[in-house]
Amino acid sequence: MSMSLGPGQTVVDVGCGPGTDLSRMADLVGDDGLVVGFDADPVMITEARARTAGRPNVQIHAADAHALPLKDASVDRLRVERVVQHLSRPSHAFAELHRVLRPGGVLAVADPDWDTLVIDDPDTETSRAYGSFVATHVVRNGGIGRALARLAVEAGLEVRSVIASPVVFTDFATGDPILQLARVMSRAVESGAVDPQAARQWLDRMGSGPFLAAFTFFIVVAQRPFLS
Ligand SMILES: C[S@@+](CC[C@H](N)C(=O)[O-])C[C@H]1O[C@@H](n2cnc3c(N)ncnc32)[C@H](O)[C@@H]1O
């Protein structure tokens, strides 16, 4: 996602996971800048530290997105990718993002909207039940993608752009590791959301026939107003 990184900036990646993007951001801010990655999961912290070892302008710390250990107005750029969907209090987290951004600072936040998940199958009822189960029971905030821009505005930020980007899988081998069809379908059956026989037949067709699944990923860039 684009948030115009440049030399000397302080950039914070909230929910940085294994730190996949930290080195690229560190190159862009240079020796006078600083990249800080926060994550709540100690396993991710260890991975991110290993991935960025030897980079003096990168720091990784354990922290919760709802309570960032940062001073007010201390950050130039904030990145929050595929994290808000997991948070217990998204509005609270957005208030925290606003607090730590300096006036004029920029937030880039992105999440899928699982309510947009479509999976092609002749049994449309089972596909719909599966999608609805994912959005309602598998992901904590399944429909957060479309709400990101509103949450940013409610926190006092000005939205600069909203991109809705389709994610499309046209083969089972690529889509299944992300969607985990068998595991999620078994939960849907257990909960009574899908008939067991229909689920078995649906899964057989997923693995054997033509495959198409898609959902929408929302990317929002927002700025803290200069006079705030
Ligand atoms: C799907 S991963 C995304 C990782 C990274 N942002 C990326 O795009 O590669 C979600 C990350 O959010 C972290 N996370 C979930 N809840 C969190 C919280 N309350 N505070 C901080 N991190 C959190 C998880 O530990 C996980 O590493």
pLDDT in tens, 90-138: 999 999 999 999 999 999 999 999 999 999 999 999 999 999 999 999 9
Q: Is the shortest distance between the CB of 45 and ligand 1 below 6 Å?
A: no
The torsion angles phi and psi of 84, rounded to 5 degrees, stand at -60, -30
Range of the structural domain that residue 187 is part of? 64-223
Q: Give the distance (Å) from ligand 1 centre to CA of residue 199.
A: 31
Q: Is residue 24 part of a domain?
A: no
Helix (H) or strand (E) holding 115: strand 101-119
Average pLDDT, the chain: 96
Q: Check which CATH number belongs to the domain holding 145 and give it.
A: 3.40.50.150
Q: Is the shortest distance between the CB of 88 and ligand 1 below 6 Å?
A: no
What is the best residue among 39, 43, 91, 114 to mutate for testing ligand 1's pocket, by most ligand atoms within 8 Å of CB? 39
Q: Is residue 185 part of a domain?
A: yes
Q: Is residue 41 part of a domain?
A: no
Q: Is the shortest distance between the CB of 148 and ligand 1 below 6 Å?
A: no
pLDDT in tens, 51-101: 999 999 999 999 999 999 999 999 999 999 999 999 999 999 999 999 999
Q: Is residue 8 part of a domain?
A: no
Q: Is residue 54 part of a domain?
A: no
pTM: 0.94
Q: Is the shortest distance between the CB of 16 and ligand 1 below 6 Å?
A: yes
What is the best residue among 3, 35, 52, 83 to mutate for testing ligand 1's pocket, by most ligand atoms within 8 Å of CB? 83
Q: Which single residue is written with the structure tokens 């054997």?
A: 208
CA 140-82-15 angle, 5° bins: 100
Q: Is residue 36 part of a domain?
A: no
Alpha carbon of 63 to those of 53, 67, 86, 87, 202: distances in Å?
19, 7, 14, 13, 41
Q: Is residue 189 part of a domain?
A: yes
pLDDT of residue 227: 76
Q: Is residue 15 part of a domain?
A: no
What is the number of domains present in the chain?
1
pLDDT in tens, 185-225: 999 999 999 999 999 999 999 999 899 999 999 999 999 99
